[in-house]
Amino acid sequence: MEPAQITAAIMNTVNTTRIVLEYMQSQDMPKQNQDQPRRRLQLGDESNEEMDMDIDLSQGTGPSNVQIMVLLWQVHAVERRFWARETSTDWWDRIMLQVWDNSQWLRNFRMRKDTFMELCDLLSPALKRQNAKMRAALTVEKRMAIALWKLATPDSYRSVGNQFGVGRSTVGAAVIQVARAIKDLVISRVVTLGNMQVIVDGFAAMGFPNCGGAIDGTHIPILAPEHQATEYINRKGYFSMLLQALVDHKGRFTNINGGWPGMVHNARVFRHSDLFRKLEEGTFFPDQKITVGDVEMPIVILGDPAYPLMPWLMKLFNYRLSKC
């Protein structure tokens, strides 16, 4: 506490004591000595200025309880101050942003710096925040970096927070905010078929004609949920959620479906997906058929034995198909 604050606190205590004493004395004051109908009580505040309040003593009564409470409130009211623990952001501000080259960005964020900045521009409408009264909001770039670092590494929330100079709760909030922003603003731009002919030509170069993609599921490890935990134990014995993905000839996602419990079979996930419905209706791929021998063949996808054999889905049965 500052010296001036200590002095003000002592003065306030003394004045409060004097008020109470004067009130108690007024109760026992002889009537003949009550020749002054009103008295003025003075209080010293933190700036040493006098605060006056008229108390009516003509009826032999002192200040009421309400008046005493008002006086005490004026004496002891102090300005509340918010504070935040000082943290270091030098590693982000001076090292990562200014010193790291693309190889370091790739190792730690799984993307180059220019890709990172482009992603920040895309997500800025959803991630930009207004400054608060007591502290500045995280920049979009820092919010993105925190979330991507957590997603790309096995570091704990505490470890990530220490590296970026923020609290654990801030790290958790950044991960959720960035994930939602990516879902709302980016997935529809990135996870798309793109140029279908390029994909078909790419698979043809591997040895399979008129192929539009390969499908499979992958298990994403999770902590055991509080309810219905057994539904999330997969065949390998750990808790997970399933992600179904259709990829092109370079392994890039062209369609995804996530959120199923780990114990669910890949074929069931597939049959309940929008991809299955669109392939059945013939609306996912363009109507592009070729003739193989005497059979007319539409664009097909490739899958492992877990998937059903369909006119537009070929199951693995030889080396050439397996390679693709």
Q: In the 8-state DSSP scheme, what is residue 192?
A: S
C-alpha to C-alpha distance for 192 and 179, rounded to whole angstroms? 18
AA letter at 309: L
Mean pLDDT of 162-189: 92
Asked whether the beta carbons of 224 and 232 are under 8 A apart, the reply is yes
Domain-wise residue ranges, the chain: 3-76, 90-188, 193-323
Is residue 202 scored above 50 in pLDDT? yes
Strand 300-303 and strand 313-315: the pairing is: parallel
25: exposed, middle or buried (Cβ count in 10 Å: 0-12, 13-18, 19+): exposed
**Contacts (Cβ under 8 Å, ≥6 apart) of 2:** none
Residue 225 has what pLDDT? 85
Report the amino acid identity of residue 154: P
Helices (runs of H) and strands (runs of E) counted in the chain: 13, 9
Predicted pLDDT at 131: 78
pLDDT > 70: percent of the chain: 71
- CATH architecture for segment(s) 90-188: Orthogonal Bundle (1.10)
Confidence (pLDDT) at 254: 95
> How far is the C-alpha of 305 from the C-alpha of 315, rounded, in Å?
6
Q: Which two tokens stand for residue 194?
A: 């793109």
pTM for the whole structure: 0.62
* Structure confidence at residue 209 as a pLDDT band (50, 70, 90): very high
